Chain A
Amino acid sequence: MPTRQTGAKKIRVLPGFKLTLGFTLFYLGLIVLIPLMSVFIKTSTLSWAQFSQTVFSPQALAAYRLSFGASFFAALINAVFGLIVAWVLVRYSFFGKKFVDALVDLPFALPTAVAGITLATLYAPNGWIGHFFGSVDKSGHFHGLQISYTQLGVFVALTFIGLPFIVRTVQPVLEDFDPELEDAAASLGASRWQIFWRVIFPTLTPALLTGFALAFARALGEYGSVVFISSNIPMKTQIVPLLIMSELDGFQYAKATALAVVMLVVSFLLLLAVNVLQWWSNRYNTNNLA
């Protein structure tokens, strides 16, 4: 450190600043920023009437409702079960724990197309899991609860892909949690349940919300795992990425782009929310340590 600063003048001992930052900005611009701008430029060629006709069409509204609804409930289910999985992995020891811990990341590592065909097959009326929920009689009518090719199927796929987010955001915070806080609460007469809700849970809240927001954001954009399990029926089982895809298949680039702008704006807002949550959680942790 003393070598770096002599008086008020800063001397850079290490070389390559211009080269590496220049390349970083060039590559970022070429691969990410300029292509992304094309979405906004293309949309700006539409009149407001054309734009609103596309993004507020009944089909688009139904797609938003399903996308947001299924993503929300999938993230919610993951918040509950993800918290339990993280808790069990950090606090208890049991046979096969290392294996379970590694397996949590499977939805990230498994290509979405594989997840899609697998879930669609498993939850189909004659599938391993689907046949518990209903069956097809001899005349070909389905009785019971159908999961594949319905909105419920979309929810199942989005739950699968969002599974690791909560576990992986809560796990490190739970590991860093100072057990002395629990001991202190216990010595002051708090019950185990009170300790969890009043002492441990508030510490986990920012991480839990971050994980929820990440799972929700991922689910909103998801395509591969949903396309097989959704029957892609407009107004019924079509999520926004599927709608964008079907517009592209019909060479309706302006319409697809207008919908993409809506989704991008939502993604950016979620990204902002996650950043704020991270800032909050860091502040929380420092306060706890102090």
Chain B
Amino acid sequence: MTAAEKVNAPHRMAEPPLVRRLLIGIALGFMALFLVIPLVSVFAEALKQGFGFYFQTLRDPLTLSAIKLTLIAAGISVPLNCIFGVAAAWAIAKFDFRGKNILLTLIDLPFSISPVISGLIYVLIFGAQGWFGPWLQDHNIKIIFAVPGIVLATIFVTFPFVARELIPLMQAQGRNEEEAARVLGASGWQTFWRVTIPNIKWGLLYGVILCNARAMGEFGAVSVVSGHIQGQTNTIPLHVQILYESNNFAGAFAVASLLTFLALVTLVLKTWVEYKNTALRGTAFTPVPIAKKAV
């Protein structure tokens, strides 16, 4: 509650206490049913066969190789989408050109596409029957059902995250500070590193946190291009699926608990960044068109 709200509160006509309590009860009940119970149950199911089994599953070579592949996919896609996000935000926020709104809509596009289709498009290009399929086969390069495909699919699904945080932020900040730095003799790069980066660092961090969460958790798109080869093309979410489908439920939930932990860390970091910078709030994951978000 802001200070202004508190001042206004006594004047305002409020709901009767009974209605208020009823609404809070409904809201908390709904949240408990859909969010808290599932969250608790992940850890309960993971520990069903004891701590010994839990840690044994996590130390399993197949689990470790899945963790490694997930780290590789996120380690490539997050920095690339970061560079893209900064470049796109610089071009869009600092300059005027035609077709800006179309560009903004196109940047958001991967959010409105089903993960299954996000994987399918790369199969159509690099798969055995795809455009480059025969050529790749001749040169013995594997993209689909191999690590490069997984990385590509991860880049695609996490494409907009950094850009859509930075664009509205940099648009709101305007160009005056950078222009002043230039007029005072700073070079382009000096302006960027000493003026722009300090101004956008929280937004950048915010975008990176969200981008990373999605990169490590992506399932549908990666599932299409992976081929599910254990120990080779299995990411953590795919490993969860394999364990679950082989009826190793405690094992599946043990590996799932890693991802759940990641989700909780993401929420904590996200809340912390929002606390540090109140301009970044709430709507982060919600794909409200960026074109309209910034006014």
Contacts and interface: CB of A to CB of B under 8 A. Distances in A.
Interface of A: 1, 3-4, 12-17, 19-21, 23-25, 27-28, 31-36, 38-39, 42, 81, 84-85, 87-89, 92-94, 98, 100, 102-115, 117-119, 121-122, 128-129, 159-160, 163-165, 168-169, 171-172, 179, 182-183, 186, 192, 195, 210-211, 214, 217, 220-224, 227-228, 240-241, 244-245, 248, 251, 253, 256-257, 260, 263-264, 267-268, 270-271, 274-275, 278-279, 282
Contacts of B94: 14, 16-17
B285 A129 contact: no
B259 A224 contact: no
Contacts of B284: 105
Interface stretch (B54-62, B100-108, B134-142, B198-206): B100-108
Given A32-B156, A179-B11, A160 B38 contact: yes
A202 to B, nearest CB: 18
Contacts, number: 314
Given A28-B106, A113-B256, A278-B289, 17 more contacts: A3-B183, A13-B182, A14-B191, A16-B192, A23-B83, A25-B103, A39-B120, A84-B27, A109-B264, A110-B259, A111-B237, A114-B237, A121-B45, A221-B114, A223-B116, A245-B224, A257-B120
B69 interface: no
Nearest to A106: B35
29 contacts: A12-B95, A13-B182, A14-B178, A14-B179, A16-B91, A24-B84, A27-B87, A32-B109, A32-B156, A35-B124, A38-B130, A103-B35, A113-B256, A114-B263, A117-B241, A117-B252, A160-B34, A163-B34, A171-B282, A172-B281, A217-B112, A228-B244, A245-B223, A253-B124, A253-B127, A257-B124, A260-B114, A263-B114, A278-B291
Contact of B267 (A106, A115, A160): A106
A264 B117 contact: yes
Nearest to B243: A117
SS class, residues of chain A in contact with chain B: helix
Interface string B258-277: 01101110111011000000
A209 B275 CA distance: 28
B246 interface: no
Given A14-B95, A109-B263, A168-B285, A35 B156 contact: yes
Among A34, A109, A159, A163, find the residue whose CB has the most chain B CB atoms closer than 10 A.
A109
Contacts of A81: 26-27, 30
A111 B24 contact: no
Given A21-B97, A253-B129, A182 B120 contact: no
Among B31, B39, B155, find the residue whose CB has the most chain A CB atoms closer than 10 A.
B31
Contacts of B130: 38
